[in-house]
Structure 1
């Protein structure tokens, strides 16, 4: 056998070795465990067998055909070699048969050919199963679905109905796609979900999973019947409430914000006497959520006052409009409980329906009422006018001078509606945002403090500047220091004079002393020094 192999190699060296591009099909080839695959060469069958064929799996020989046929023991009964093309059939495949296969062929009268390809053997897909950790869910909760299957090299694909499930901020695919987690579950996440599992040789699909998702209530809506702008006293009215909800919603009713004893999707009003704002609240016993409808007005000769859209600020033009329901209406305006007297900036339009301020003044704030009358009834509507103004009259209270280490407080105030915001600026730099600024003084705190006042409604601002000087503190003034220096000089002079006097007295009383210093008209400085010397000698 070794001689035959050597002969094949020598023939290859003599004829030239060709790495057989196209000798074997492009890989990888895919096959199933227990199945059969043929590694087919591209050689055209001839009348004579090929001269030599060697098949290898990795670095192991499978079969060698030269003068004799040699087959590896583990492949006995599992392979068939086609001697006219050099193709090889493998049967009863196992996962361990996956890998690279190499064929070396020496055809008659031609150069040696070498081909390579890769074979992947897979376990087939079987027993695909999908499960959910819960199928009874509440909207915005979470659910986890898992998929399992026999087989190898599995790929997982989740479907919701006919749509593929893809990852998003609330949809997560983990464990190679076998686990699907949905956070913040929504009503359209109910399914049906199914899991498709595949590999290159087979696929399978699980049974469907349907989720029961409780949601709502939402889109709560109230309707009046008959639907009309106003009603006469004694009318009968029906109100109905609906909402999108699973399970079906439970309904409660409210009049002007107060709960009524009535329940259910319909409320019947019999012999209505007064106007009111009706609303319904839908509740879900499963989600424990509720939603209230927009109020619906049942008007029985009513009146209301509305302000024009522009901001009720000082200097703006503002209109108050008194609207009423019913025929033959007359209107009477009052302010703060007294008949309204028109000022020079007020006027009426549209037969007292509109009260106009041109422009609005700060003093125009207060409670306005409109009394509406007809042959049926008289009603009143009220409106509190809040006039926005300012800021103005900015004031700063606080010391202009303080010492280092002492606490100083600056208080800023201004007239404003609504209340203004305050910003302190020191030497052009913002340092604090409040009306009151308190700090332990440092030399760097000296300077000009600007209080910037801003009204966020009128978008107006104003400011005031306050100067503050921080002194060193804890020391003496220049005058005090000068006084101390003068006092020290006086004491020094007196001490010098006293020393000189003692010197003279000692000299007169003890002429026998040695080392007596002779003084010759000393100036004051010399007197002091000589007096000290005499005193030491004594």
Structure 2
């Protein structure tokens, strides 16, 4: 490859040389026509136009491949009439004066490089070449552009209110053949019912801005030879308050006296919202997004709400109320019976009491849930359990559990039904020997245990004990013994039970041994009479007594 160039010493030389080559053109019509013996080839330059920047370089590259056989002649021209370079093999190259030091010619492919471009270089470029008897030519257009620079975005306003404000952004830049693109963040801005692009895209207008229009906005300016993006422009879009939410911590409705409670108000707002707090509709002195209630008491109960306001949008929003109920913990629980003792057949009440805020009362009997029977009534929200007529089946342990949402406590009462006396029985012998020991026992069904009174023959009171005991009864102890039971709680007496007793035997002064001897003697006499019909006896004085035999 050989770089061809030609320099002129002055205007007269250029004119002389130009005249020479003009004459040469007349003698070499192959540059412009296809005389006999020559073949015309296809275009050797791309159809698309070329773009280049002022001060830059452009390469007119042909579609020809290097060949061992050189081109016999080449002519590059600008706008047809202006010669850039004329190349003839084995001859000096001719270069137009305005292209000296600006071009480089490549004979092997007849390509041309043009440097130090100016706007005046915009136009049509042509090449004619002869190679091995074939005329080759091509045409293309070169457009010179000024590079993009000084890209700047101006905004009509940067402080706006959502849904009630509009903004216009304008993009300015230096350069030629400029085109404009707008970006919001990384997304390209396109025209819509709210977005208008005017002035060839250099102006962007947004109607009824939203928070999503806050940017950053950038303007990208480009032409075929350069692209420049502006610095970001951010819009301040005020919005809200909206989506207000009141959060209660801990998240519950009921709290014990002395608890600490926190309420937090959250809201979407720009700039940050200002807050007011209300209890049952009355404004509290507290401000800020958090309300702290420390060591609460029952007066802190009520419906709390927060209100958020925005001094830019002049809008406000109030939360739904959050109910807080402060309760006294249940303590001092007890089950108290009615003043009268539980006596079978009468009405008895058990009252479940406690200090604190009682919500529910549940009764149990003997560790099982109480199932009221026909003689039971629960009243005053289960506070009072009434027995219309108690009976022995109502004996047992009664437990009352008092609860509210913060705690529970219970108390028990063991109820014993007092009854009787009834079914009195008197046990003892109906006949007893003279001088024997008499023991009579009286019993009765009764709670508490019955007490007894004893009577002899209906008038004489003997004792108040369960048993009546008499040592060595006399014949005079024969008679009717009466037992009567009574209950000092029920204040009831039983029917009297009469027991008849007979004392048998004799009341003589003989001793038991003497009586026994007499009885034996009688048996002997009876036996003797039965043996012989008579008996003999003798007596003699022995010492100081008589002896019979």
- What is the TM-score with the length of structure 2 in the denominator? 0.48
Query: Which of the pair has more CA radius of gyration?
Result: 2
